[in-house]
Every structure is written in structure tokens, then in C-alpha cells.
Amino acid sequence: MPASARMVPSTYGPFLAAVATSAAALIGLLFVAVSNRDETIFGPRAIPGGEALAITAFTGLVNSFVVSLLALIPGTNIGWAAVIMALISLYSLARLSQRLRVYKNPVFQLITVIAYGAQLVYGVILLANPHRSGDVENVAFILFATLVVALGRAWSLLRGKHLPAGGAVADAANMPPHPQQPTQPQQPTQPQHPPGAPR
């Protein structure tokens, strides 16, 4: 394919392939983390902080994976993937914030919104000017940033950072309850008679 017809410069191919591969592997790590602490993430006994960690990590990994993978298709404008995934990610964060109303780190929420908002802007610019390599580079940096942040969120989830007292309380809650030993009925005590007393 001629260089003038490429939407994404060929020099970004190895980077995008590495991001897509890493994101796919980290999604698997996230599934392992969720399965290890599923009762504290989803379900009636779920901790809001755990669900927020899982959803934000999954959103960031899927964003990096989908945009990088679609950008590798020859002749595909990376702007479409960037715009669509940015809108989906922002919508997911908005619903999460409205439903759980739990964010222990508002700075993280602000940085995440800025990152997805910038991705949306650069994606729109690339839709209008597909051959702007500078904006492709900006999208590449955003993909790397969301990948690293999502990795940190998945690692925090795996270590149980969302659990009280570093995970000790919830780990104890996940353990099966100890069976109670049946109490033996007390034998009636025989009255003591003094020596020589009639019985």
C-alpha cells in the first residue's frame, strides 16, 4: 500500500501491535483478579470500591485493545475507533459514578475523563484529516497512558486494595464459617447427702 494511502504510518505498527497484545494479556489478568475476589466485586456482598476498580480497569484495557487492533487494519482510519471507544468509555464512567457514587480518588477520575476527552478530540481531528501523523502520535500516547493506569487498577484489585484493612476483613468473610460444636446436655447433679443421713 502506498505511504500516501495509509491512515496510520507504518512506523506505529509495532507499537500498536504491542499495545494490543499487552491489553489482551492484562484483560486475562483482570479476569483472574475478579475470579479470586468475585464476592467482593459483584453480587449482594460487593464492595463499591471493588466494582469501581474492576469496571475502570476493564474499560481502559478494552479501549487500548480495540483502538490499537483496529488501527492495524490497512486503510482504516484510527479516528473512528478513537471516537467510538472514547464515547463508550466516558459513558461507562458516567454511569459508574452515578450508580455507585463512590470514588476514593477523585484525581484519578479527573485524569481518566481528561484522557478519554482528549482521545475523543484527536479522533475527531483524525476523521477530518486522516494523515495527520502528529495526532496519531497523540492517540498513541493516550493509549499507552490508559493501558498503564488500567494495569495499576487491575493490580490494586488483585492485591485487595479495595478491601477493609488491606483485605483481611473480606478474606475472613469469604472463608466458610466454622461449624459450631453441638453442646452436650448437662447431666442433672445428684444431691450430696451427708454421711449417715437417710437417703
**CA 102 from centroid of its chain's CA atoms:** 15
- Confidence at residue 79, expressed as pLDDT on a 0 to 100 scale: 92
- Mean pLDDT over residues 96-116, rounded? 73
Tell me, yes or no, whether 184 lies in a domain: no
- Mean pLDDT over residues 169-180, rounded? 45
- Confidence at residue 169, expressed as pLDDT on a 0 to 100 scale: 40
Tell me, yes or no, whether 188 lies in a domain: no
Q: Which domain holds residue 95?
A: 3-166
Tell me, yes or no, whether 42 lies in a domain: yes
Tell me, yes or no, whether 174 lies in a domain: no
Grid cell, residue 65, equals 485493545
- Mean pLDDT over residues 10-34, rounded? 88
Tell me, yes or no, whether 181 lies in a domain: no
Tell me, yes or no, whether 191 lies in a domain: no
Which residue has 475523543 as its cell numbers? 120
Name the range with the highest mean pLDDT among 43-52, 85-94, 188-197.
85-94
- Mean pLDDT over residues 169-188, rounded? 49
181 pLDDT more than 70: no
Tell me, yes or no, whether 47 lies in a domain: yes
Name the range with the highest mean pLDDT among 58-62, 133-137, 182-186.
58-62
Tell me, yes or no, whether 182 lies in a domain: no
- Confidence at residue 173, expressed as pLDDT on a 0 to 100 scale: 43
State the total domains in the chain.
Answer: 1
pTM of the model: 0.71
